[in-house]
Structure formats: C-alpha cells, structure tokens
Chains A and B, each alone.
Chain A
C-alpha cells in the first residue's frame, strides 16, 4: 500500500477539524480520553460513571455503540470487539444498554477541552511567573529584562492601551481589563496551539467560542447602565410607533452581538484549518483520481500553498484574538456608557 493512500485513500478534513474523544498522534497512535457520564436510572436515581477511555466504557457492558449514519446498534461483545479493533468505536455515539437509564449529561473530556486546558496551563505558567518577576521589582522599578517579559509586556500594554482604554474609558477600564486580557491570551494561545504538530484548535469549536461570547454577553448586560437599558426598552427621541418597531430589534441586537462574536471566531479558525487540511488532502485526492505519479507531482504545489496558508493562519490567530477582544471591549463600553439624551444618536 502506498504511503500516499492514507486512511483507505480517504482524507477527511472535516473529521480532523471536528472535536473528538481522543488525541490524535498519527502515525504513532491515538490516546483515548476519559469518558464521564451523569446517568439517571429509574431504580438508582442519579449516578456518575467515569471510564478511562471510550474503549473501557464500551467493554463495561453498560453502553452500546451507535452511529448516526445507520441504525445498527452494536451491543454484543463480538460486534464491539470488531468495532474497537477497527478503531471506529471512537466515532460512535454511546447509549446505555439498560433501557431504564439515560445519559443526563456527557461530561467526557474532548480533544478541544484538553487543548483549552493546555492553553490555560500555559497561560498560568507564563503569567504567574511573569507576575513574580514584577513583584521582585524587575519591570517595576527597573526596565523589563529578557525576551519573554518584553514580548508579553508589549501584548499586555497593547490590550490595555489600544483595546481597553479607548473603548471603556479611563475610569472603567481597570474593572474589565482582567477579562479582556484573559480572553485575548486564551484565544491567542488556543489559536496558536492549533498550528503546532498534533495540536488542535479549541477555538474552532462553536461550543467553546459560544462560552467565550457568553462571558462577554454576561459582562455587558450585568454592567449595563440605565441609559443602556432605556435604549433597549424605550429608545428616546422618536415617535411611539417607531419605538414599538425598534424595541424587538434592540432586544435582538443584545443577542446578535455575542452570537456574531462566537460565529466569527469559530468560522475563521475552522475555515483556516479546513483550507490547510484540504490543501494537504489534494495530494491524496489526486493520487486516488490520477495515480501515484500525479500525486507526487502535486506535493510541492500543495505544500507551497499549505505553507502560505499556515503563515496566514499565524496572522489570523492574532487578528481574531484581537477582534474578539476589541469587540468585547466595544460592547461592554457601549453598555456602560452614560450620556445625556440631548446628544444626537
């Protein structure tokens, strides 16, 4: 079998970009992640079941595997064994064998969660150490020293002076700066982790970007000034009829902003990865269609484009972190702003 005929001649970019219950260290192998379920059964009530891996969960005889593409339910040990040996069990949906119990919540670890945790760990390691440097006086009473301190200080000052202060104002920015810094560096680290070998992009998961956007939403609404709410529920300075038309729009506007935040980040990061994987996939597609010689011929073109898109991805990693943060600052800034209504709108 040729080296170019990977995965039975199929190369599925979407599958690689999507979340999974394992870490892919191809070609070394896969590491299955723990499965955690909160179950409820008629007889036992609520229960927590933790398994070391999907394989363990299936072998425990508590769960059956099911695929969305067909209706077959793999229950018997033999069928499960075949599934596991083929490595297909990782893509299966797990359903309790016992009819009486149901999965209330699937708290299983996923690839993207692992990388989000990794990003958090990296951030804590870097910035707590950096903070200790400042506490020792380096950078506080003396000039900052070293590449790490200078690099991150530049970014911190950038977030403070170019994102927080202009959008939130001098009096309020300090209250929101920790969130903006955390969001910026978390998104940036997640984005960049997707570009390292064996890495995955947590921010190319809509669930994760939605959580981040939800934080902005909650911060925006809980800190909204009286003016902010008056604008939503009784927009000043216009006829009552227009007000009635405007109120639903304003209420929708409250939600469209964070939704746009979530989708923008998700779509940008997903698209970048899909493009990279598709360019790589061109090699296999061409091999399948026209034979191995053409496949090898496509390699330099494909890798050249991949390199170019990779560079673009690094840029996008920074740009999207910046855009998410500055829009969050802008939304919060708009909500906390208090202004007189004599102003034109």
Chain B
C-alpha cells in the first residue's frame, strides 16, 4: 500500500520544476528550432510546388511549340509540293507551246515550199508553152517551105500539138485522133 502511494504521491516541487523546464523548453524550441524548421519546410514546399507548376507550364509550352512546328512543317511540305506541281505544269505548258510552234513553223514552211513549187511549175509551163509555140511556128515554116495543102498542114499541126499534150498527160501514142 505504501509503495503504491509512492507511485501516485504528489510532489509540488517537481510540478514547479517541470513547469519551468517545460515552459523554457517550449519557448527555446519555438524560438530556435520550430520557427526556422517549419518556415524552411513550408518554403521548400512552396518552392517545390512552384517548380512543378513551372515544369507543367514549360511542358505545355513545349507541346505548343512542337505543335506549331509540326504545323509549319506540314505547311512547308504542302508549299513544296504545290511548287513542284506548278513547275511540272509550267514545264509541260512550255513544252506544248514549243511543240505547237514547231508544228506551225513546219506547216508554214511546207506551205511556202508548195507555193514555190506551184510557182515554178507555172513558170515552167509558161516557158514550155512559149517553147511549143516557137516550135509550132518553126514547124509551120517548115511546112510552108514544103508547100503542103492547108488541110494536111492543119492535121499535122494538130497531131503534133496533141502529141505534145498527151506527152505531158497520159502516155498515149501521138497519132490517135
């Protein structure tokens, strides 16, 4: 019984001592330990939160930049393709135009050549005609010199002329009246 009382015995001196000790401990720790520690902890937490925010923002920013880069690249590719296509078309057009002009030139040259040939032919016919009439006159003179009758002369001349004509056109014997 006495021993149990020993465990529960009140000790006013101890109470006073401990009140002083604990109060001093509380004030000292609050001033020199808890203050700096809790301030540092909350500061660090704020820093971490802020850095995480910044990191998130940076990530979002980089995503945005990447997105716009991709957009720009897509546009550039489209531009390049368009330019290529246009160049192709331009080349085709130039080629076509060139070909057409060549064709026209060839046609014009051919036309010119034909006209020239026609003209030469005309000139040749003209020359031939005058030659023929000279020959006719010559022949007439010879006929006259031989004194032939008019009908025979005429028949002779006609046969001659016919023979000339058919010589130029179909190959028929001269004496087929």
Beyond A15-B3, A69-B2, A179-B26, whether A140 also contacts B12 by CB under 8 A is no
Q: Contact: B17 with A107, CB < 8 Å?
A: yes
Q: What CA separation (Å) do A106 and B8 show in the bound complex? A: 17
Q: What CA separation (Å) do A12 and B3 show in the bound complex? A: 9
Q: Contact: A182 with B8, CB < 8 Å?
A: no
Q: Contact: A135 with B47, CB < 8 Å?
A: no
Closest partner residue, chain B, to A109 (CB atom): B17
Q: Contact: B14 with A130, CB < 8 Å?
A: no
Beyond A127-B33, A182-B29, A215-B22, whether A106 also contacts B11 by CB under 8 A is yes
Q: Contact: A141 with B44, CB < 8 Å?
A: yes
Per-position 1/0 for B3-38, Cβ under 8 A of A? 111111111111111110110111011101111111
Q: What CA separation (Å) do A242 and B112 show in the bound complex? A: 135
Q: Contact: A177 with B44, CB < 8 Å?
A: no
Count how many chain B residues have C-beta atoms less than 8 Å from C-beta atoms of the other chain: 39
Min CB distance B78 to A, Å, is 50
Q: What CA separation (Å) do A13 and B44 show in the bound complex? A: 49
Answer whether residue A83 sits at the interface, using C-beta atoms and an 8 A cutoff: no
Closest partner residue, chain A, to B11 (CB atom): A207
Beyond A12-B3, A15-B6, A156-B38, whether A211 also contacts B19 by CB under 8 A is yes
Q: Please name all residues of chain A whose beta carbon is closer than 8 Å to the beta carbon of B44 when the two chains form the complex.
A: 139-141
Q: Please name all residues of chain A whose beta carbon is closer than 8 Å to the beta carbon of B15 when the two chains form the complex.
A: 207, 210-211
Min CB distance A154 to B, Å, is 11
Counting chain A CB atoms within 10 Å of each CB, the highest count among B16, B35, B40 belongs to B40
Answer whether residue B43 sits at the interface, using C-beta atoms and an 8 A cutoff: yes
Q: Please name all residues of chain B whose beta carbon is closer than 8 Å to the beta carbon of A120 when the two chains form the complex.
A: 21-22, 24-25
Q: Contact: B34 with A177, CB < 8 Å?
A: yes
Q: What CA separation (Å) do A142 and B11 show in the bound complex? A: 48
Q: Please name all residues of chain A whose beta carbon is closer than 8 Å to the beta carbon of B33 when the two chains form the complex.
A: 124, 127-128, 130-131
Q: What CA separation (Å) do A233 and B151 show in the bound complex? A: 176
Partner of B17 from the list A113, A128, A212 (CB cut-off 8 Å) is: A113
Q: What CA separation (Å) do A197 and B16 show in the bound complex? A: 28
Answer whether residue A148 sits at the interface, using C-beta atoms and an 8 A cutoff: no
Counting chain B CB atoms within 10 Å of each CB, the highest count among A69, A134, A186, A205 belongs to A134
Closest partner residue, chain A, to B14 (CB atom): A207
Known A131-B32, A182-B34; further 8 A-B contacts with Cβ < 8 A? A140-B40, A140-B43, A156-B38, A160-B41, A182-B26, A206-B7, A211-B18, A215-B22
Report 22 cross-chain contacts, Cβ distance below 8 Å, ordered by A residue.
A15-B6, A36-B13, A68-B5, A105-B12, A124-B29, A124-B33, A128-B29, A131-B37, A134-B40, A139-B44, A140-B41, A140-B43, A160-B38, A178-B29, A182-B30, A186-B22, A186-B25, A205-B14, A206-B7, A208-B14, A208-B18, A211-B22
Chain A to chain B: the 4 pairs with minimum beta-carbon distance, closest first: A127-B33, A134-B40, A178-B30, A140-B40
